[in-house]
Structure 1
Amino acid sequence: MSSKDHSLCLFALFVFYFFVSSGFLSVSSLPSDINLEPAIRVRGINRRGGGPYIGLVTVIETEEDAFLGSVDFRPDPFRPFVDLSGRRFRIGKIHGKNVVYVRCGIGLVNAAMATQQMIDAFRVKGIVHFGIAGNLNNSMSIGDVTIPKQIASVGLWDWLNPGKTDGGQDVAFLDIGSYSVPQGDGSVNELGTIRYNYEELYSKSGKTNTPQKKFWINTNSQWLHLASDLEGMELLQCVNSSLCLPQKPKLVVGLKGATANVFVDNAAYRNFLYNTFEVSSSDMESSAVMMTCASNGYPVIVIRGLSDLAGAQSGDNTVRKFGSLAATNTARAVLGFIKKL
């Protein structure tokens, strides 16, 4: 061993000793039951040239059942799935295209986590997010499918005392007291005002550690243009022989959507969202998937089937009644889009 090699070895031992003695690295503190199998499986997939994949992210079992039941999904013969953090990532082909699919679970956190896991673990070229949603637009109907050009996060609020509305750069206000019935009786609604804020988007294309204020996240323009060819596609009208919609469902590209950790089933709030932000659909995951993709620089598109009227219906919400139909129509649109990619 040369003196140079000897010096390098001593330096490496010194660095290792420094980190151990300083508490930055403690071999004894590492869990003894770490499961390395998922990481090994993912590494095996990537090493043998797996991908690039079209990433598919849906939310609940109803959507998953409709999708997997509608598609000729051919599992990868060597690595059909990988389980990561309690989620199953299925790997295979649809229409001859490499895909990786996951059901993320309800809400913004689940959606963002599953999307980031997919981007980190697999060689994806973009994300197709899909599921069902509430309909906020009176020109749309249950069973229709929307592919929005923009999604807004409408769940980032400041909740203010009555009479306080000055918000500087904030997007919009909801004065809860103005919805009191009857109006003008002199009473005060102590719930006050909700002030809608911008999200902070950290992006690889932006300045490091400097977020951009964003209210709208845009669908990838090339993918949206490609999706426009799906308008006019055949969608299902009936759940079964005895339960059908009064009109034939349609697919519409280029509207706007809203996302928050809120299941909207209130007619007054539905009208507020549509009138204020001109959004046609409401869900609980899309903006998180889109922000995660925008942050990492990946193309993304959202496909949502309308399962209910978000509170404008008479009687009970229709998700249980028409959710499976909306999910099946969504799956048809997703398959059509994959085929075009």
Structure 2
Amino acid sequence: MDHTLSLLPFLFIIIISSSHVLPVSPTPSHKLKSATTIRKLNRGGPYIGLVTVIATEENAFLRSVDFRPDPTHPFLDLSGRRFRIGKIHGKKVVYVRCGRGMVNGAAATQQMIDVFNVKGIVHFGIAGNMNNSMSIGDVSIPKQITNAGLWDWLNPDKAKGGEDIAYLDVGNYNVPKGDGDNELGSIGYNYEQLYSVTGHINTPQNVFWINTTQEWLHLAADLEKMELSQCVNASLCLPKKPKLVVGLKAATAYIFVDNAAYRNFLYDTFGVSSSDMESSAVAMVILNPLIFT
């Protein structure tokens, strides 16, 4: 995937009074300096883009890998985020901590692929478990990701229908159990709308599952043989040895799922094994020109 530096359009504001036009200031020197640095860095690419979410994940990552910063340009600060440039085991990488949520995940990823010469993105971090066969400490590399937070909250008086792919009937979870009626009604799960270079201009296509590229999934399959540590130290260990699983499904939403009933609904309905707040947004950004269903 060939990504070159793109120059984003600036918004020029001209204030007109009765007799004066105020010109826009020239481009600040720090932006020109950043552009020069970016050109130099990209001549040394391509890089593998690494995106994680919160400081806890970043600290664990930087402690556990042999990250060697670029000796000339170890980092570049853009729009409040620090993009770290360097190598891990000889592989050139650009790393950023995006911040919690789908907007942050999409914004940081878009900025990375617009600015840097990257050949792929690896997004990683903490996720909630939906699958009883998985335990704390296990690692999942999903083959498909969906946005499970795109809802149509339906009027209880209206029949189900339209484009919703699945429904959650709130009344089914009444305590004590009754006839299923509930003023909260039903939630219908909808599709993402994808604007694609392979589609018609200004005509989005409905997308529910986003696929990990087969090439990267094949590479990830070799990691299933990896031995994962069971203990952090002599006094802090997991109950059983963790495993790495490739090829499950994942869900993303602006929802921290700490509810057994909803967890079971997501697993039973969509077959997802993990839930997080950023993955599908990162995947949507890098989808073009990848394959989708």
TM-score range, shorter chain: 0.7 to 0.9
2:154 aligns with one of 142, 152, 160? 160
Structure 1 residue runs of 4 or more that deviate by more than 4 Å after TM superposition: 19-22
What TM-score comes out, normalization by structure 1 length? 0.76
Q: CA deviation at 1:93?
A: 1.1
1:212 to partner: Cα distance? 1.2
With over 3 angstroms needed to count, the CA separation of the structure-2 counterparts of 1:67 and 1:298, relative to structure 1, is farther
Decide which of 232, 237, 246 is 2:239's aligned counterpart.
246
* Mean CA deviation greater in 196-205 or 235-244: 235-244
DSSP-derived class of the 2:66 partner = coil
Question: Percent sequence identity over matched residues?
Answer: 69
Aligned to 2:199: 206
Q: Which amino acid aligns with 1:267?
A: A
Is the Cα contact below 8 Å between 2:15 and 2:22 reproduced in 1?
A: no
> In 2 relative to 1, CA 88–234 (structure 1 residues): closer, same or farther, beyond 3 Å?
same
Moved more, 62-71 or 265-274: 62-71
**Structure with max Cα Rg:** 1
Contact 1:80/1:91 (<8 A) preserved: yes
2:219 is aligned to 226
CA distance in 2, matches of 1:132, 1:226: 21
2:22 alignment partner in structure 1: 28
**Alignment-derived partner of residue 73 in structure 2:** 79
In structure 1, distance between residues paired with 2:232 and 2:285: 34
Q: What pairs up with 1:125-204 in 2 under 5 angstroms?
A: 125-184=119-178, 188-204=181-197
Distance 1:204 1:77 in 2: 37
Paired amino acid for 2:248: L
Question: Per-residue deviation at 1:262?
Answer: 0.6
Structure 1: gaps spanning 5 or more residues: 1-18, 300-341
CA RMSD after TM alignment: 2.4
d(CA) in 2 for partners of 1:28 and 1:179?
Answer: 62
Partners in 2 of 1:43 and 1:167 — Cα distance? 54
CA distance in 1, matches of 2:257, 2:51: 22
Per-residue CA deviation, residues 48-95 of structure 1 (Å, 9 max, x unaligned), is 613111000000111101111111111111111111111000011111
- Sort the Cα spacing of 1:37 and 1:205 in 2 relative to 1 into closer, same or farther, 3 A: farther
CA contact (8 A) 1:38 1:82 kept: no
Aligned residue identity for 1:269: Y
Query: How many pairs were matched up?
Result: 276
Aligned with 2:229 (options 220, 229, 236): 236
Partner of 1:284: 277
Structure 1 residues 66 and 39: CA distance shift in structure 2, 3 A: farther
CA distance, structure 1, for counterparts of residue 150 and residue 269 of structure 2: 15
Higher helix share: 1
Q: Aligned equivalents of 1:40 and 1:182: distance in 2?
A: 65
Higher relative contact order (CA 8 A, sep 6+): 1
Counterpart in the other structure of 1:262: 255
Q: In the superposition, relative to structure 1, how do residues 176 and 215 fare at CA in structure 2: closer, same or farther (>3 Å)?
A: same
User: How does the TM-score come out when normalised to structure 2?
Assistant: 0.88
